[in-house]
Amino acid sequence: MGQLDGKVALITGGARGMGKAHVRRFVDEGAKVVFGDVLDEEGAKLAADLDGAAYVHLDVTEPADWEAAVRAAVDAHGALHVLVNNAGIMKHKTIEEMTLEECRRIIEVNLVGQWLGIKTATPALRDSGGGSIINVSSTEGFIGAAGMSAYSSSKFGVRGLTKSAARELGQYGIRVNSIHPGGIITAMSMQHDVVEATAHRAEAILDNLPLRRLGGTKEVSGLLVFLASDDSSYCTGSEVLVDGGLVTGF
Ligand SMILES: NC(=O)c1ccc[n+]([C@@H]2O[C@H](COP(=O)([O-])OP(=O)(O)OC[C@H]3O[C@@H](n4cnc5c(N)ncnc54)[C@H](O)[C@@H]3O)[C@@H](O)[C@H]2O)c1
């Protein structure tokens, strides 16, 4: 018996990184999964590997893509119980270096994309008798970092979005929580601009972590499963760190 038997889940940014690990784990736990991304080739390849997961093109900034993704889940499985707002982008640039367009795009994908997902999925979640929305924020939703103004702003914003949505949607049995990963090894955390900016203090970063190591994508999926499952039935509006202790101190 899986922890997510009988659940239908929509996961964004599922073609690679943490999203890919979540898609695999949700399927393993018995969920029916529809996942979206803008990386169509990778997404289709992953779906072909799995029984119980279907890929749709879903740019989280596009309302029509969201409508089609929610419809795909409900048409295929008759309900929608879980939305994982995982898609995100990051750029490491100082405020002086970053263009307005770059800043707007980060906030559009990371924050407005989640808002749009909640807006579009809510009727289907309500019609399914309630459910769980999990918004992926970051440790940068609690602390700022030089070069991360837009990213950090978007991730702080996700906390406000989560709390407001939790207050609006609790009456329908829809729970809304945020998770806050930090230091997880993915294409995003290893992207060139980030590595370049942090390489000189890589050892200090590891030494500062109580667990003394970076995290793997699968170590985040377990938390997602808990928040998606009925085991977390009294959790809403909460913020859960999965960061090896990164924000305990510096
Ligand atoms: N890696 C970390 O250490 C870390 C830490 C904290 C938070 N996060 C957050 O975790 C989430 C997953 O990141 P990751 O580390 O797996 O990175 P990743 O780059 O491997 O995955 C992000 C996914 O989002 C997709 N995406 C980007 N723009 C999109 C759009 N407009 N519409 C739909 N999909 C889009 C990408 O194609 C990619 O598949 C992100 O929200 C990220 O901000 C990551």
pLDDT at 29 over 90: yes
- Please check whether residue 45 lies inside any domain of the structure: yes
- Please check whether residue 234 lies inside any domain of the structure: yes
CA 75 centroid distance within chain: 23
CB-facing half-sphere around the CA of 17: CA atoms within 13 A: 22
- Please check whether residue 69 lies inside any domain of the structure: yes
Looking at residue 26, which CATH number applies to its domain?
3.40.50.720
Q: Based on the structure, what is the number of domains in the chain? A: 1
- Please check whether residue 248 lies inside any domain of the structure: no
How confident is the model at residue 58, as a pLDDT? 99
- Please check whether residue 193 lies inside any domain of the structure: no
Q: How many CB atoms are closer than 10 A to CB 248? A: 11
Taking residues 218-243, report their average pLDDT: 98
Q: Which residues are tagged catalytic?
A: 151
- Please check whether residue 249 lies inside any domain of the structure: no
CA of 88 to the centre of ligand 1 (A): 4
Q: Which residues line ligand 1 (CB under 6 A)?
A: 12-13, 15-19, 37-39, 58-61, 86-90, 109, 136, 138, 181-184, 186-189
161-166-169 Cα angle (round to 5): 115
Residue 78's domain comprises: 8-182+217-241
Mutate to test the pocket of ligand 1, among 89, 120, 192 (most ligand atoms within 8 A of CB): 89
What's phi and psi for 151, nearest 5 deg?
A: -60, -50
> Which residue in 89, 84, 98, 93 sits closest to 61, CA to CA?
89
> What is the 3-state composition of the chain as percent helix, strand, coil, each rounded to the nearest 5?
50, 15, 35
pLDDT at 198 over 90: no
- Please check whether residue 231 lies inside any domain of the structure: yes
pLDDT at 200 over 90: no
- Please check whether residue 205 lies inside any domain of the structure: no
Which residue puts its alpha carbon closest to atom 5 of ligand 1?
Answer: 182
Cα Rg of the chain, angstroms: 17
**Using 50, 70 and 90 to split pLDDT, how confident is the model at 197?**
confident
CA of 76 to the centre of ligand 1 (A): 26
Which residue puts its alpha carbon closest to atom 25 of ligand 1?
Answer: 13
How confident is the model at residue 213, as a pLDDT? 96
* 47-61: pLDDT as tens digits: 999 999 999 999 999
Q: How far apart are CA 238 and CA 236, in angstroms?
A: 5
